Amino acid sequence: MKVRLAKKNREVNPESWEQLYENLIIRKIRKRYSVNQELAILRQRDAKPEEFAEYNAYVEQCKVSVKKKLDI
């Protein structure tokens, strides 16, 4: 809600939207995966494809959720 108001009132400049988008996604990812866990999953994506698929689906879900929140 606050984000939409900020966007509507132009309190966040356009260059900051991409950074805000990325930061919100990272924040959501960190709720489930630490940096070390994420790196391990990415490093072992071929050895553990199911684990990578679960991680990737979660990241995509985070992106959709943040886009909705930012109304983009």
pLDDT (tens digit per residue) in 8-27: 555 666 667 888 899 999 99
- Structural contact between residues 37 and 70, judged by C-beta atoms closer than 8 angstroms: no
**In the prediction, which pLDDT does 19 show?**
87
Distance CA 37, CA 2 (A): 31
Residues 6+ apart with CB under 8 A from 11: 5
**In the prediction, which pLDDT does 17 show?**
80
- Which pLDDT band holds residue 51 (cuts at 50, 70, 90)? very high
- Which pLDDT band holds residue 72 (cuts at 50, 70, 90)? confident
Here the tokens at position 36 are 């070390």
The residue type found at 44 is Q
Q: What is the pTM of this model?
A: 0.77
